[in-house]
Structures are given as C-alpha cells and as structure tokens.
C-alpha cells in the first residue's frame, strides 16, 4: 500500500492570475452553466446510441463529465449510475496529471485508467479522457479534460471468486491510447487480446472515444464563444455556488453526532458477519462521515478503494439527503468531510479483490441515512432491501450450446414521512436499471417462470408501510448451475422513527424428486437438476413512524389489495379483522 488514493487531490495547475476575482454577467454565467450540463447530456445520449453492450444502454453503467485543468469535476451528465456521481472521472484525471504532469499531456492525447489504486472499483470501470484546448482546432493552451467512465464488458480475469486484484483482469494505470491525435496501436492490441468479448469491447471503446472527442469540441466551442477568461471565471463561480447551496442546506440541520450500526451476512467466502458502523457529524455547515467503525478489508471480493468505495458511498448518501437537485460537481462536495483509516472494506489495499465491490454500498448508504433519522425526519426513509441479489443460471443445452442467464432481485424501498415505500426496485447503488422481461428470458434460458408476485407482509409496518419485495418461481427445464449473491438476511431493512423492520429475501431450491428445500443465498455454481423449482424471494423496505399511527383506512386498503394478510394486519397493526375482512382498531 503506497497510500496513493490519499494523494490524489487536486493540485493547482492554473496560474494565480487566471483565478483573479472578476465579475461576470449573471446571464452569461447561466448560459455557460446550461451549456456545460447540456454538453455532458448530449454526449450521454450519443454514447447510449453508439455503444454495443447492454451495460451501457440498459444499465446506464457509465458517466460523462468535464474537469478543469486541475482535474476538478466541473460538470457531469444528469443520468448514470449513482456510484459514478462521486467524481470517478476526476480521480482518474488527477492520477494522469500526477504521472505525466501537464507539460506531457497534449491536445489529441487520450488516456485510459482503471487502476485499483486510483478508482478502487472493479477493473471494468475504465475512465477515458482527453485534454480540451481553448479553441476547437486544438490551438491555445489546455483548459480542462473531457472524460467518460464506461463499464468495459470484459477485461479478462477469473469468472469465479478472486483472491486478489491480479486475478480480475487487465489493469491500465493512466496509459495513453492516443498521442497527439494518433492512435497507439500497441495499446489497442493489448486491450483487444485481453478480453473474452473483443468485438463488443472494441465497439464500446470506439463509442467512448468518439464521445470524448465530440465533448471536447463542444466545450471548446463554448470557450470560444465566451472567451477563456469568462469561461474559467464562470467555472469558479459555478463551483462556489454549488458549495454555498450545500452549506446553506446543512446549516439548517441540527448539529450533533449520529450513529448507526448493522451487519452484512458475510463476504461471500467466509461466514462471519461484516460490521457496517457509521457515524455522521453535523456541525455548522459541514457534514463529516466517519467510517472508523466499518469492517476491515475482506477476503471475499467485496472491497473497494478509498475513493471508489469510502468517498463514493459518502457522496451518494450526501446527495440523497442534502442536495438531490444540485448538479454534481467538486464544489457541491466541499462541505463533506470523510474520516476513513486505510485498510477497511471501503479503503482497501489496491491489491485486494474488488470484483464484487459495490456489494456493501447499498447497506452503507442506507446506514448513513438511518443514522440521520432524527436530524432529517422529512428526508430519511426506512431501510431498503439493500442487496444486489444477483441470480445467474448457466450451463450447456442438450445440443452443447452454452447459456448464461443473468437475473436479479428487486426489493422494497423504505417508507418516508408522507407516503408508503415504493418498489420493487433495484438498490440505491442502481438507477434506471430495468429488469429483463420474462418473455425474453424464457427464449434464452431453459426455465419457465411459474409466477412473479408481490410478497404480502414483506414491507415493514409503520405509519407509512415499507415497499414490498417479490417472489419469483422458476421451473428449471435442463440441468444447470446456480450462482446467487443475496445478503442482508440476518439484518433486513430497518424502520425509521418507530417504523418496523421488513422481511428479508431468500433463495430456495426445491428438489423435484425428494421435495427437499435448501437455502442458497450465496451459491457458487451449485448444480440444479432439471425439474427443480428455484424460488427467489426479495426483501421489503422498512416502515416509517409507529404502526399504531397508521390510518386504519390504509390498513383496510392494504388488506383489500392483498399487500398485507389478515394475520399480518392483526400482528403488525394490532387491529381486529372480522370474517368479512373489515378492519377495526381498538376493542
């Protein structure tokens, strides 16, 4: 461990004179601000249109951003995956600046970086960036970088559990793919020959490259239109205004220290609970997230680096709670401080296995939210089911052709101060990620879905009830293997402010011949015989406020709609249900 993550902080490349205070017309400022976000959104649309892999156009597993010449995040596209908002692109740019120095980075260079010591996430997440010059023709000095982070579909590495990062594929630490406008064919050859899916990968890289160049030119057009001095002054003001907005929100919150502790079931390899203890300190106009109490680096591949794990989860929680409507930039996160010793699961050594790095993220983000239940009663929500619930059936068909069916669990989200929890959705580490239609799955994978249904009583009770998980039953038609990754069964989604906890999820395999049921929440290639039934149940979300305060009409509605059972109504809400299904509270 060389502590590299800690050193990747912005250094100032910009001469002081260019930072001079100056006034700028507020309307020009707004037009530039809009132009920056609009450019990143245009490139976002362009990548979705031209990318090959479904990670990009269906999972939105990418982010588009622009940094200034110091690698500070200035603007980022508004969509994308939550774990990317935390400035994944700026981190990579700053490593490149450290390695090359600004004098060795030129217009027409393209640099890629997926290194564990830099981004600290699984190696698929690869940032590509190119310098922006003052003029669209490349003349003038450099004024920033246009950067795109894309999940590369395959970069080699083991398909099973890894023991260290070196088993997970090709690492590229700030490597130039283009130099002064010319591609470096050797680097292309290295990448192409270290992937199981070279066609798709090279297609995605082409889309990423085209996006970088187009973004660079669009930003340069903006700079030309308003002049470099005005543009750079506008950036300073945009960052300062985002910071001021965040500080103003925080100043309205009550000062104090807030703590929550929970546990993951295990790291996927061992069977020891993984402690997730977070402390949040609100003081004046700053928030400090203290991860000192979080688990040490794990053997299983659920680790992430300081930047890619610790800072990322803190920033995602910050954005959820404090500033959901502010565009992400470096200024927004200035009032957020992090206390995080090295060597934790979210500040792991760069050699640690990280293939499954986001696994703890939903729980950590949710724990920060839970800690603040008394401080932000109208922002927080009950816990969500908070597990990726990965579910994969793979094997070979009778005719020898391989199949590989990825599915995933979607669970309930927590209730909030004015409505019941929603869902089923994917986790807080996901965004606009859509489940795969059954009509398509049945064509591709040898199973038949017998039912998919909401799970009554799975949401935590409360004044507002948590969202429901679902139950999906698969009839397996050919022998295959099962891989699952479902956690949070021992400590399911909690309630907030008196709300009750939800039911956890579960994977059950029912053998057709013997009828025996076995739980398989963390299966690693478990053989499943044709004819068996596999049941994927997902957890619900936690409730908000005491169940006794729930409007009896809502209990009646939930019973009528089948969101709760009569038994659940009695047990969770202390109501009586007569033989006609009428709910009454009290004697």
Partner 1 sequence: MSYAVAVDIGGTFTDLVGYDRETRRVVYTKSATTYGNFVDGILDCFVKADLTPEQAQYLNHGTTLVINSFIQRRGAKAALVTTEGFRDILEIARANRPDPFDLHYQRDPPLIPRSLRFEVPERVDTFGEVLAPLDLDALDRLAEQLRAQKVEAVAIFFINSFANSAHETQAAERLREKLPGVYITCSTDLTREWYEFERTSTVAANAYVGPQVNTYIRRLEDDMKSRGFDGTLFMMGSNGGLLSVDRTCRQPVGLVESGPIGGCIGAGAYAEELGFKNVVAFDMGGTTAKCALVEDGRFNVESIYYAGGYVHGFPIKSPVIDIVEVGSGGGSVAWLDSQNRLHVGPRSAGSTPGPVCYGRGGTEATVTDANLVLGRLNADRFLGGELKLDTAGAERAIRKLAEPLGYSGEEGMLRLADGILSLATVTMAGAIRQVSVEHGLDPRDFMLFSYGGGGPLHGAALARELSVPTVVIPPAPGNFSAVGMLLADARIDLSKTFTGILTQDAIGPVQDAFEALEAEAAASLRKEFGAREIMFERHAEMRYLGQRHNIKVPVGSGGDLATIRKAFERDYKRRYGHSDSENPAELQALHLSAFARQQRPDLSGLPLISKSGAAPASRHVYFKEKGGFVDAAVYERSALPPGFAAAGPALIEEYGSTTLVGPFDRFEIGPLYEIRIHCDAQ
Tell which positions 7-66 bind partner 1, by CB under 8 A: 26-27, 29-31, 33-35, 38, 41-42, 45-46, 48-54, 57-58
Task: Give the whole-angstrom CA distance, residue 100 versus residue 500.
Answer: 54
User: Can you name the residues that pair with 425 across neighbouring β-strands?
Assistant: 411
Of 542, 411, 556, residue with least CA distance to 466: 542
Q: Does 535 bind partner 1 (CB under 8 A)?
A: no
Q: Does 453 bind partner 1 (CB under 8 A)?
A: yes
Site residues for partner 1, 64-93, by CB under 8 A, read 79-82, 85
Angle between helices 26-50 and 228-251 (to 10 degrees): 90
User: Taking the mean position of all CA atoms in its chain, how far away is CA 99?
Assistant: 28
Q: Give the nearest distance from C-beta 324 to partner 1 in angstroms.
A: 4
Site residues for partner 1, 140-169, by CB under 8 A, read none
Q: Give the nearest distance from C-beta 412 to partner 1 in angstroms.
A: 11
Q: Which of 449, 510, 552, 566 lies at the binding interface for partner 1 (CB under 8 A)?
A: 449
Q: Which of 36, 219, 321, 509 lies at the binding interface for partner 1 (CB under 8 A)?
A: 321
Q: Does 361 bind partner 1 (CB under 8 A)?
A: no
Q: Which of 184, 452, 510, 530 lies at the binding interface for partner 1 (CB under 8 A)?
A: 452
Site residues for partner 1, 473-532, by CB under 8 A, read 473
Task: Give the whole-angstrom CA distance, residue 178 versus residue 110.
Answer: 5
Site residues for partner 1, 200-219, by CB under 8 A, read 200, 203, 206-207, 210
Task: Give the whole-angstrom CA distance, residue 460 versus residue 464.
Answer: 9
Q: Which stretch binds partner 1 (CB under 8 A): 198-206, 227-235, 301-309, 343-351?
A: 198-206
Alpha-helical runs (H) found in 227-321: 228-251, 312-321
Q: Give the nearest distance from C-beta 426 to partner 1 in angstroms.
A: 6
33 or 233: whose CB is closer to partner 1? 33
Q: Give the nearest distance from C-beta 450 to partner 1 in angstroms.
A: 6
Site residues for partner 1, 242-271, by CB under 8 A, read 244-245, 248
Q: Does 375 bind partner 1 (CB under 8 A)?
A: no
Q: Which stretch binds partner 1 (CB under 8 A): 162-170, 356-364, 507-515, 558-566?
A: 558-566
Q: Which of 358, 360, 423, 542 lies at the binding interface for partner 1 (CB under 8 A)?
A: 423
Q: Mention every residue, 6+ apart, whose C-beta is less than 8 A from residue 378.
A: 416, 417
Task: Give the whole-angstrom CA distance, residue 439 versus residue 420.
Answer: 30
E-assigned strands of 284-397?
286-290, 336-339, 390-396
**Cα distances (angstroms) measured from residue 103 to each of 13, 96, 97, 113, 441:** 10, 11, 9, 19, 52
Listing DSSP states for 189-238 in one string gives: HHHHTT-S-HHHHHHHHHHHHHHHHHHHHHHHHHHHHH-HHHHHHHHHHH
E-assigned strands of 14-121?
62-68, 73-76, 110-113
Q: Which stretch binds partner 1 (CB under 8 A): 2-10, 66-74, 93-101, 415-423?
A: 415-423
Q: Give the nearest distance from C-beta 559 to partner 1 in angstroms.
A: 10
Q: Which of 12, 396, 419, 585 lies at the binding interface for partner 1 (CB under 8 A)?
A: 419
Q: Give the nearest distance from C-beta 26 to partner 1 in angstroms.
A: 5
Angle between helices 228-251 and 198-226 (to 10 degrees): 100
């Amino acid at each position: 461990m060389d502590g590299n993550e800690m050193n990747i902080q912005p250094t100032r490349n910009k001469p002081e004179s260019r930072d001079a205070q100056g006034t700028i017309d507020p309307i020009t400022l707004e037009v530039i601000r809009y132009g920056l976000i609009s450019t990143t959104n245009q490139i976002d649309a362009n990548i979705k249109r031209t990318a090959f892999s479904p990670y990009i156009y269906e999972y939105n597993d990418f982010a588009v951003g622009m940094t200034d010449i110091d690698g500070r995040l200035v603007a980022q596209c508004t969509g994308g995956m939550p774990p990317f908002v935390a400035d994944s692109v700026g981190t990579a740019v700053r490593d490149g600046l450290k390695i090359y120095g600004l004098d060795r980075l030129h217009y027409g260079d393209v640099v890629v970086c997926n290194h564990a010591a830099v981004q600290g996430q699984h190696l698929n997440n690869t940032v590509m960036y190119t310098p922006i010059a003052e003029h669209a023709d490349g003349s003038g000095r450099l004024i920033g970088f246009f950067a795109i982070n894309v999940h590369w579909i395959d970069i080699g590495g083991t398909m099973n559990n890894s023991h260290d990062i070196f088993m997970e594929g090709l690492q590229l630490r700030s490597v130039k793919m283009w130099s002064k406008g010319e591609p470096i064919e050797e680097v292309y050859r290295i990448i192409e020959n270290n992937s199981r899916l070279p066609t798709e990968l090279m297609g995605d890289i082409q889309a990423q490259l085209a996006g970088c160049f187009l973004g660079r030119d669009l930003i340069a057009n903006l700079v030309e239109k308003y002049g470099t001095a005005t543009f750079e002054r506008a950036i300073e003001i945009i960052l300062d205004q985002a910071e001021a907005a965040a500080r103003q929100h925080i100043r309205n919150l009550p000062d104090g220290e807030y703590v929550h502790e929970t546990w993951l079931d295990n790291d996927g390899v061992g069977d020891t609970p993984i402690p997730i203890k977070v402390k949040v300190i609100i003081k004046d106009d700053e928030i400090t997230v203290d991860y000192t109490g979080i688990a040490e680096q794990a053997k299983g591949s659920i680790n992430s680096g300081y930047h890619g794990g610790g800072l990322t989860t803190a920033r995602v929680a910050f954005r959820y709670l404090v500033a959901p409507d502010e565009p992400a930039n470096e200024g927004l996160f200035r009032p957020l401080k992090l206390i995080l010793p090295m060597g934790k699961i979210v500040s792991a050594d760069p050699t640690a296995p990280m293939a499954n790095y986001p696994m703890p993220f939903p729980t950590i983000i949710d724990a920060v939210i839970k800690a603040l239940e008394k401080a932000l009663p109208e922002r927080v929500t009950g816990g969500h089911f908070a597990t990726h619930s990965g579910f994969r059936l793979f094997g070979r068909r009778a005719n020898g052709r391989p199949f590989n069916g990825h599915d995933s669990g979607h669970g309930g989200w927590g209730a909030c101060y004015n409505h019941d929890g929603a869902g089923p959705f994917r986790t807080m580490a996901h965004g606009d990620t859509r489940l795969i239609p059954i009509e398509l799955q049945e064509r591709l994978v040898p199973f038949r879905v017998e039912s998919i249904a909401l799970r009554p009583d799975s949401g935590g009770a409360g004044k507002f009830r948590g969202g429901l998980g679902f139950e999906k039953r698969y009839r397996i038609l050919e022998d295959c293997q099962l891989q699952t990754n479902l956690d949070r069964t021992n400590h399911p989604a909690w309630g907030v402010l008196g709300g009750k906890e939800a039911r956890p999820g579960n994977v059950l395999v029912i053998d057709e011949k013997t009828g025996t049921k076995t739980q398989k929440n963390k299966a690693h290639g478990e053989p499943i015989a044709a004819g068996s039934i596999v049941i994927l149940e997902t957890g619900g979300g936690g409730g908000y406020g005491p169940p006794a305060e729930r409007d009896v009409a809502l209990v009646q509605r939930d019973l009528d709609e089948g969101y709760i059972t009569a038994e659940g109504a009695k047990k969770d809400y202390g109501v009586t249900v007569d033989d006609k299904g009428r709910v009454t509270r009290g004697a």
